[in-house]
Structure 1
Amino acid sequence: MSDNHPQPALSGRRLRLAGGIFAAVAVTIAVVGIYMRIDHANDLEKAVESQHVTVKVVSPQFGPSTQELILPGNVRADLDAPIYARVSGYLKTWETDIGARVKKGQLLGEIETPELDQQIMRARADVASAQSNWEIADVTAKRWQNLVASDSVSRQESDEKTADAKSKRDILNAAKANLDSLLASQSFQRIVAPFDGVVTERNTDIGKLINPGSNNGQALFRVVDNRRLRIYTEVPQSFAYLIKQKMPVKIYFPELPGQPFTASVLSTANAIRESSRTTTVELLMDNKNGKVFSGSYAEVHFDLPSSAQIYRLPVSALLFRKDGLEVATVGPDNRVVLKSITLARDLGRVVEVSSGIESSDRVIDSPNDSIVQGDIVRIQGADAQAGDHKKEAAP
């Protein structure tokens, strides 16, 4: 037969074609497998990241160079005298009522003292009797001394008469002293103002029984001099060392809004009261116009220097744990680091922290109560920022 067919060449081409197809399929499978593994790894990474809590962080802020300390205060008059009776009796008259301005020594009221008057009459009689007894004893003693000179009587008898005269003189002096005491008490029938001021209380009326002393009830009158006022406030221990004498202070009164008054520190107790851990501070304020009444409530504003180590944080960043106050911070590896802090002041929405944190700390705001040391967290907005950086770096 003369027919020649190129069968072997055709078979070779088929083999090469099949091999190429096989190789292409293999490469395709490999590429698909690689992409699947990459996608799986990405999905796994996203799944792990999705389990991390997203948190918002804040940075500790330095407080202002000065800090305002606001405290309640009690206002008292510079001079304040409750006036009690020194003698017993009945109120005869009262000359001034509440609100009256009085001068030193001005009559406020008068007490009728019938018992004291009788005692004075009796004392006057005792003085007169003692005076007579002493005079006769003195004359007798002198006569007996003359008789001794003429040896008419013994010296012993003369000495007895002289001693009797001295005894009568002592009785006279005692009677006079008793009368003087009663007369001094009688002077207290007149109740007078101890200084220039205002009558703020009258707790008696005509005919009322009066007992002496301050342990038997209310004062009859009260007189105050409120041209200057003393304001007392209790400063916490943490601020006590900042209070200095003559320091200016602003005073506000609720009944006089928008009208600050200026006072100055007069003195401090220089001691901390154990029951409250505060020290008493006394302020002095001018009140010549009489706008402010004694007994008022005051709001005392101290302008004090701030500590350089005071930081401010939102109160929502605090963690209240059994070991005390803590904050959760984010470390460089995005792990939670718990830090114990010392609170200086609570300002409402913001607190001042005196120790435990630094200005570079990333403090978690509103942390979950279950957050613990070492937890991995994601910072809110960090992923978006990272994506933006990748886009900028892409060609």
Structure 2
Amino acid sequence: MPKSSETNRTLRTSGIVVGVVAIALVAFGLSVRAYSSKNLDEWTAEQAITTVAIVTPAKSDANRLLELPGRFEAFATAPIYARVPGYLKSWQVDIGATVNAGQVLGEIETPDLDQQLLQARADMESAKANLGLSESTLKRMQSLLASKVISEQEYENRASDFEAKQAQYQSTKANFERLQVNKRFARITAPFDGIVTERNTDIGALINIGSSASPPLFTISDASKLRLYVNVPQSYSSIIKNGDEANITVPEHQGKTFKATVAASSGAIDVGTSTARLQLTLDNSSGELLPGSYARVSFAVQSAEEALSIPASALIFNAAGLQVATVGKDSKVTLKPISITRDLGKSLEINGLLAQDKVIDNPPDGISNGEAVSIKAAKKEQG
């Protein structure tokens, strides 16, 4: 009996030990699972935060080179139209020819105008003869009036007739002289020294009195001096003044620089492009530069304050306009509106940021204000 009691005691002890061990194993398993679940939640939360790379705006020197495209125009250009109708009798110059003021470019045959001149001359001679007859008649009537052979009424009537004949003669004479002046326009001449840049007619061509609806017979351009037009961004429009010099380069003269001077400004900002139009002038007596050609214009400008530049890849364009995404000390995003002052290709000079701002490079789509982000790395943008 004592032996059976001892056996039961041992079994109870073993059962208790097994139960404790089982409970410990369950508790350990639950704690390990809870710890793993916490780590998983933390890892998932970390993965949900967007990781971004940031750059800081680069400072550029206040003294900088502003390069802009421009277009040459001849200092004076005259499209030449016909003033009289007829047929082209001859032309003396072709495109590319150098001409002097008053030089004949071509001649128009004017059969209709010639007939009008003959008729106008005949009308003038007839009016002159009638005027002479009326004048001699008036002189005779003056002596008759003195001897009271005729009445004063008859004399006044004759005097009025003389005045009418005189006016008629002046009218026919003026018409004849007008046609003579028109006849001179049968010879087409150059208005100033220059180069023939267009010839749009040939011998025998029907010539009508010209207008802008039809091409000119000739076009003369004075390219000894050129105008150069360039559109300057609004932020630089008050910096560049009349009299400032610019360096000009053209593709056809690699390695050569020309000098131009700012002559005038439009004095207004174009609402479509936010630029001001400048006119520069330069000497072209050598003839190296061609009207209508493209040029690269470089201004040495000095800004009142340092400019900041960011990579073009940091730019955000949406319904709110141009923006960049910055990261604050709390690792949250703030969208800031900016404006571009100069496009440098891979980088942009901008307004609207501070030098210490942390700008997100290549911001993900849909990034918004207040969004938490993780900073991957910070790098200094090289200007």
Residue 242 (structure 1) aligned with residue 271 (structure 2): no
Aligned residue among 296, 313, 317 for 2:314: 317
Unpaired runs of 5+ residues, structure 1, are 1-32, 383-395
- CA distance in structure 2 between the partners assigned to 1:348 and 1:143 by the alignment: 96
Aligned residue among 110, 129, 140 for 1:143: 140
Residue 358 (structure 1) aligned with residue 354 (structure 2): yes
Tell me the SS of whatever aligns to 1:380. Answer: strand
Partner in structure 1 of residue 198 of structure 2: 201
Instruction: Note the 1:115-194 alignment, pairs <5 A.
Output: 115-194=112-191
- How far 1:203 moved relative to its partner? 1.0
- CA distance in structure 1 between the partners assigned to 2:250 and 2:263 by the alignment: 20
**Percent of paired sites with the same residue:** 42
> What's the RMSD between the two structures over aligned residues?
2.8
Change (3 A) 1:143 1:369: same
Partner in structure 1 of residue 336 of structure 2: 340
The answer to which of 262-271 and 273-282 deviates more is: 273-282
TM-score (norm 2): 0.81
Aligned residue among 56, 80, 91 for 1:59: 56
Q: Does the CA contact (< 8 Å) of 2:108 and 2:186 recur in 1? A: yes
Aligned residue among 261, 266, 270 for 2:267: 270
Q: Deviations over 1:66-109 (max 9, x none)?
A: 34333332211111111111111111111111111111111111
- How far 1:379 moved relative to its partner? 4.8
- CA distance in structure 1 between the partners assigned to 2:183 and 2:141 by the alignment: 42
Change (3 A) 1:314 1:169: same
Change (3 A) 1:48 1:131: closer
- How far 1:354 moved relative to its partner? 0.8
Q: Deviations over 1:91-143 (max 9, x none)?
A: 11111111111111111111111111111111111111111111111111111
- CA distance in structure 2 between the partners assigned to 1:210 and 1:167 by the alignment: 39
The answer to which of 107-116 and 72-81 deviates more is: 72-81
Change (3 A) 1:371 1:78: closer
- How far 1:48 moved relative to its partner? 8.5
Partner in structure 2 of residue 301 of structure 1: 298
Equivalenced residues, count: 343
Partner in structure 1 of residue 77 of structure 2: 80
Change (3 A) 1:337 1:346: same
Aligned residue among 61, 71, 95 for 1:98: 95
- CA distance in structure 1 between the partners assigned to 2:362 and 2:213 by the alignment: 61
- How far 1:367 moved relative to its partner? 3.8
TM-score (norm 1): 0.79
Tell me the SS of whatever aligns to 2:253. Answer: coil
Change (3 A) 1:319 1:94: closer
Q: Which has the larger radius of gyration?
A: 1
- How far 1:300 moved relative to its partner? 2.4
Change (3 A) 1:133 1:371: closer
Task: Output the amino acid matched with 1:323.
Answer: A
Partner in structure 1 of residue 215 of structure 2: 218
- CA distance in structure 2 between the partners assigned to 1:166 and 1:61 by the alignment: 90
Partner in structure 2 of residue 392 of structure 1: none
Q: Does the CA contact (< 8 Å) of 1:85 and 1:213 recur in 2? A: yes
The answer to which of 372-381 and 224-233 deviates more is: 372-381
- Structure with the bigger RCO (C-alpha within 8 Å, sep 6+) is 2
The answer to which of 229-238 and 87-96 deviates more is: 229-238
Change (3 A) 1:125 1:248: same
Q: Deviations over 1:370-393 (max 9, x none)?
A: 5552515255389xxxxxxxxxxx
- How far 1:53 moved relative to its partner? 5.1
The answer to which of 61-70 and 217-226 deviates more is: 61-70
